[in-house]
Chain A
Amino acid sequence: MLRDISWRYFDFWLLGTVVLATAFGTTMIRSAVAGNEELLPLINRQIYFALAGLVLTFLVAAIDYRYWMALYRPIFIVMSILLFSLYLSAQAVFGAARWFQVGVLFVQPTEFAKIAAILLLARYFDKTQNEPRDLRWLLTAFLWTMGLAIWILLQPNLSNVIVLMVILVSLLWFNGMQLKHVLLFGGIGFLSLGTIVLLSAFGVRLPFLQEYQQQRIINFILPDPNATFGERYNVDQALIAIGSGGLFGEGYGYGTQTQLRFLKVRHTDFIFSAVSEEFGLVGSLFVILVIVLVIWRCLRTAQKARDVAGMNIAYGVATLIFFQGMVNIGVNLNIVPVSGLPLPFISYGGSGLTSLMLGIGLVQSVAMRHKQMEF
């Protein structure tokens, strides 16, 4: 299979922006953890992950993505087992477990589940591309997604379930979901979301939401002016960091909020605030631009894809990066409730970075094979 590889259509623009984003992220992590001795090894770890991810990108790009389509059953089964056993171990320690410890590594299967879901959906939409877009078509796609999402929901990890649902909705949209269904389910979704927010605001405990999740929603909708310290602390410190960055920032390694550790989880969820503080508006827009470039290259690849499966893979990865990136930045800017989604390629996190690199590898695989005519 490696014989057929033609690197001519390998998207070096995509690779370039991803490498740029990852390098910038690593640099930023270095500044963010500078004040904390315990976190210092994270810099090298992120570099190793980035390098491994890069190798993975080339490796996956070299393999024709259609092989994965054929392996959809093992993918689904292995992923389900991983997620289920994670759920079981979470039960054992009476709390939310998000990772397996493998040696010194903490592996988060949820991150890989997103890529798996994209592959499964790509296969499904490819198989059903000529079938009518009726409710059965919709429901089957939903069930495929829920097959993985259910275990994530039980972890509980609502944010990533939402990520999976957004990928599903996005791919449904691209695959021709009927407008009346969009309106119907959009209406239902909007109504139920409104109900959840309203009930949370009035203090009604909902059985499928954790208490802290409801609290976050309340804090976002109705900020309590007296509760600056506890609940709103992280978001407030992020806003101070971003705001004090100004146009050009306080300089790399000189952001007081970041360096003196007033900004919390500054190497993961709030790394965008650290960027904004140290590099200002210019740096923030640069990060957004780089991520938008990555998304654009993925969307472009999708449009040129040889088949529906390839198209769906590229759209899925684009959606994943788009949603996670924008939600993370939105959280930093306090226009979205706190969610715990990392900033793609920038935030620290081995599993997240590796799975994204995996996704990019798949997109590259699609890009490299986009012209059927060449042999």
Chain B
Amino acid sequence: MSSESTGKFQVPLWRILVVYGLLIAVVGVLTSRLITLQVLGGQNWNAQAIDNYTNTISDPAPRGIIYDRNGHILARNVASYNVVITPAALPDDDADIQHIYRELSILIDVPVGGPVTDASLDQAKLFAVCVPGPPIADMVALGDSLAPYSPVRIKCNIGEALARIVSERSVDWPGVSVEIEPIRDYPTGSLTANVVGFLGPIPASLETVYRDRGFIPNRDKIGYSGVETSLDDILIGRNGLRVVQIDVAGQVLRNLEPPIPYVAGNNVVLTIDTRLQKAAEAALVDEINYWNTFFGTIRISSGIVIAMNPKTGEILAMVSYPTFENNRMARFIPGYYYEQLIDDPRRPLVNNAISGIFPPGSTFKLSTATGAFNEGVIGPDKIVETPGRLVLCEQFSPNDPCTERNTRPFVDWIYERNGVINEAGFGQLDFFHCIAYSSNVCFYKLGGGFEEEIDEGLGIFRLGEYARAIGYGARSGIQLPGEEDGLIPSPQWKRINTGENWSTGDTYIASVGQGFVESTPLQVLMSGATIANHGKLMQPTVVREVQDSEGRVIPIWFNPEDFSLYQPLEEEDESGNFVRMWVNLANPTRKLRALPEGSYQISPFTPNMKWDITETPKIQIWDCEIGYCDPTGNYKTVETSTVEAVRTGTRLAVTEDLGTLHDIFLEDYPLPIAVAGKTGTAEYCDDVAREARQCAFGLWPTHAWTLAYAPYDDPEIIILAFAYHGGEGGTVAAPIVARVMQAYFELKSIDLVQSPGS
């Protein structure tokens, strides 16, 4: 060896020391880095590690069921079946997988797909879940790369029979299974769609609110209309929550915290009687079709029927025609269908019974009559001259001179019929027959006064007071979204909104429910119900009670202002006394000591009286001098005799030969029960009419109104019918009311036979 020949090579010590120094330096760097990571930054890393393995799983709560008053299901959850494949559970062997894919493909008609390539995966990524298109192999490959333990939906909404077959075969197909997804189902469909409503996804604007409440956007749904919206907090329940440990593939290993089970949504019983609803819909649609066929054109485009118990405020039927099919929105809201509904000028998505505002026409005369009688404008013995028309001058201020230019005729409905002019009109009428015959001339005089005969009419201010007292001019507070206020005009309103002074003519036509007066059909019904119920205005309601999943009735209060729902809670305070707290269902952690003003109980059912006009002072006293009036701030009630007088008038409308409802209830649809009511034929001019050039004097199109209640002495049912562009109330709307009335008493007798005890 070479070492023997010459001196052995020696490494200088400093070279070795340099290497030792390097070793110490590197170890020092690594150690300091370790200390930085493990000792100084520990908390942060730990949190990230926990974040890695922690997953929260939300177990969806089943939504509450909606029943009608007889226990018929209006909304429920039905199973929808999806074929799913869990990639991690598939067999190891590719040939086995292919075999499963091929057999499944034949059954469910989804292609197997060729070899999975990047290109085919990119193609498959373009499809949303459940949208047919990508082949099985690509869908599974995509799912496998994301979360192999999460099932991938291969085909959605398969039939029950097919679901059973796949389910049975899946015993031999590891990884394949049938997933059951709850879908909202409305057995009564479009019949009750306007009241029940439909569901939709949580909108982006409410995402944080619902996320905080434990709901999952894109999975959980919320109400979009009807009681599905207004009672959403009752129906929606509370999702369960599991905090679990997962591994990197997403497989759930164990619960990290005790799981919180879901709380099923509570069930709601509505006041709607589906049978009456069906009868009402049939009567309405028949009548509309009859007249449209008669005229040979689609004249009546929409209509409304509402039936209510005036003593309790329970809405038994509420039909707004045309409507929509809420079952079509069950899985998702189809864009084309939604657009079709939105573009329809008849507004089928809107519940016109509460959201449509129309001139109430002669039905509004109940307000004028009540006011005029109560204020002593007319007494029971006073006879009013009622010629076919009045020629009156429009005065914008009390001193305006009456000239030919501002004088025009105000006609009665009887003035011109079938081309025959009737100058005499009704001749002479007392107060009761003014109502029974619905004499416009009489009500012009009562509302606006007339020369020497009626020195001072009711006037617009006092008319407004009485209209509001019997239900006009404000939302009723029913548990349905989208309610309108309607409009009771005042001189101030007119100056602000039209820039014109109030004229005497405005008062005349307001007295008969025309001009600026606008109301929802529900308000017209409420006005009738107040009179029918001897002055007591009941809170209209569609909710009878709320039950938990075991059928126990739960006490619930409802605030119509913001649709919040409250549950009472007895709670011990610091001094050991039990105090009643109110829990907002949308935010159970916040408890209130007092209910918000205007809230009322909806469950268990209690009739809620809004007010009794004979007892609650609702009529503000106005201080008037030569046409200028100021509110005094003092209130008074309506005399019982006034209400009875108006009731008498509505009864005479049926009993008197010339009464507006005489022919209908005593001849065409005779009933053995005493009926009373009021018709209305309201001239209108809206966009549709303006386009058709109908908005001209003498050509005005009219809406048909009729409301009737029975039995006269102690009314238990009041029914309102409205036909858009229906023509005369007594001929078009009244038959609908009569048919629904018949149906009501028929159903009542059936119920009595079936359960004689009650």
Interface residues of A (CB under 8 A from B): 35, 66, 69, 126-127, 129-130, 170, 173-176, 237, 239-247, 256-257, 260-262, 276, 280-281, 284-285, 288, 292, 295, 299, 303, 306-309, 311, 322, 326, 329-330, 333, 335
> Please, which residues of chain A bring their CB within 8 A of the CB of B38?
242-243, 245-247, 276, 280-281, 284
Give 19 A-B pairs besides A243-B48, A308-B2 with Cβ atoms closer than 8 angstroms: A173-B15, A173-B19, A174-B11, A175-B9, A175-B11, A240-B45, A240-B48, A243-B41, A243-B42, A244-B42, A244-B46, A246-B46, A276-B34, A281-B34, A281-B38, A281-B39, A288-B31, A307-B3, A335-B29
Of chain A, the residue at the smallest CB distance from B13 is A303
**A330 B30 Cβ-Cβ under 8 A:** yes
> Are B9 and A129 neighbours in the complex by a CB distance under 8 Å?
yes
Question: Which residues of the other chain, A, contact B7 by a CB distance below 8 angstroms?
Answer: 130
Specify the chain A residue showing the minimal Cβ separation from B249: A261
Q: Are B19 and A299 in contact (CB under 8 A)?
A: yes
Taking CB atoms and an 8 Å cut-off, the chain B residues in 1-26 that contact chain A are 1-3, 6-9, 11-12, 15-16, 18-20, 23, 26
| Per-position 1/0 for B495-529, Cβ under 8 A of A | 00000000000000000000000000000000000
Which residues of A sit under 8 angstroms from B12, Cβ to Cβ? 176
Question: Known contacts A307-B3, A308-B8: does B16 contact A246 (CB below 8 Å)?
Answer: no
The residues of B that contact A237 with a CB separation of less than 8 Å are 52
- Interface centre among A69, A127, A245, by most chain B C-beta atoms within 10 angstroms, is A245
Interface centre among B34, B35, B39 (most CB of A within 10 A): B34
- Cα(A115)–Cα(B256), bound, Å: 50
**In the assembled complex, how far is the CB of residue B170 from the closest CB belonging to chain A, in whole angstroms?**
24
Task: Give the complex CA separation of A241 and B253 in angstroms.
Answer: 19
Report A250 CB to chain B, min CB distance, Å: 9
Docked complex Cα distance between A295 and B33 (Å): 21
Judge whether B19 and A335 touch: CB under 8 Å: no
Report the bound CA distance from A288 to B12 in whole Å. 28
Which B residues touch A176, using CB under 8 A? 9, 11-12, 15
CB atoms of A326 and B30 under 8 A apart: yes
CB atoms of A243 and B37 under 8 A apart = yes
8 tightest A-B CB contacts, nearest first: A243-B45, A129-B9, A244-B49, A260-B247, A261-B248, A307-B3, A244-B46, A281-B38
Contact A260 B52, CB 8 Å, known A174-B11, A281-B38, A333-B34: yes
Q: How many residues of B contact A (CB 8 A)?
A: 42
Given A126-B2, A307-B3, check contact A243 B44 (CB 8 Å): yes
Report the bound CA distance from A243 to B39 in whole Å. 8
- A281→B35 contact, CB < 8 A: yes
CA of A292 to CA of B27 in the docked complex: distance in angstroms? 8
| Cα–Cα distance between A299 and B7 once the two chains are bound (Å) | 22
A335 touches B52 (CB 8 A): no
Residue in A closest to B52 when the chains form the complex, CB atoms: A262
Picked from B2, B49, B247, the residue with its CB within 8 Å of the CB of A35 is B247
B246 at the interface (CB under 8 A from A): yes
Alpha-carbon gap, A257 to B6, bound state (A)? 59
Given contacts A244-B48, A256-B53, contact A262 B248 (CB under 8 A): yes
Closest to A310 in B: B3
Contact pick for B45, options A66, A174, A244, A306, CB 8 Å: A244
User: Contact at B45–A288, with CB atoms within 8 Å?
Assistant: no
Q: List residues of chain B with CB within 8 A of the CB of A245.
A: 38
Q: How far is the CA of A303 from the CA of B249 in the complex (A)?
A: 52
Is B2 a contact of A127 with CB atoms below 8 Å? yes
At the interface, yes or no: B245 with Cβ under 8 Å from chain A? Answer: yes
Determine the chain A residues whose CB is within 8 A of the CB of B52 once the complex forms: 237, 240, 256-257, 260, 262
- Contact assessment for B1 and A66 in the assembled complex, using a CB-CB cutoff below 8 Å: yes
In the complex, what distance in Å separates the CA atom of A239 from the CA atom of B249?
A: 20
A280 contact set on B, CB distance < 8 A = 38
Query: Contacts A130-B9, A262-B52, A299-B20 given: A307-B1 contact, CB under 8 Å?
Result: yes
Tell me which residues across on chain B come within 8 A of A174, comparing CB atoms. Answer: 11, 15-16, 19
Report the minimum CB–CB distance from B32 to chain A (whole Å): 10
* Complex alpha-carbon distance, A225 and B41, angstroms: 19
Question: Which chain B positions have C-beta within 8 A of A126?
Answer: 1-3
Interfacial chain B residues near A335, Cβ < 8 Å: 29-30, 33
B24 closest partner in A (C-beta): A292
Residues on A with C-beta less than 8 A from B37 are 239, 242-243, 333
Contacts of A311 in B (CB 8 A): 11
In the assembled complex, the CB of A301 is this many whole angstroms from the nearest CB of chain B, namely 13
A329 touches B30 (CB 8 A): yes
**Can you identify 9 A-B contacts, CB atoms within 8 angstroms?**
A126-B2, A130-B2, A175-B9, A175-B11, A240-B45, A256-B52, A260-B53, A292-B27, A299-B19
| Residues of B close to A285: CB separation below 8 A | 31, 34
* Cβ–Cβ < 8 Å partners of B30 in chain A: 288, 326, 329-330, 333, 335
In the complex, what's the smallest C-beta–C-beta distance from A131 to chain B, in angstroms? 10
A226 to chain B, nearest CB (A): 17
Within 8 A of A (CB), among B168-218: none
Interface contact A260-B246, CB-CB below 8 Å: yes
In the assembled complex, the Cα of A311 lies from the Cα of B8 at a distance in Å of 11
Residue of A nearest to B47 (CB): A244
B23 near A307 with CB under 8 A, answer: no
If A66-B1, A173-B19, A335-B33 touch, whether A246 touches B249 (CB-CB below 8 Å) is no
CB-CB nearest in chain A for B34: A284
C-alpha gap A269/B640 in the complex (Å): 95
Q: How far apart sit A243 and B40, CA to CA, in the bound complex (Å)?
A: 9
Nearest opposing residue in chain B for A292, CB measure = B27
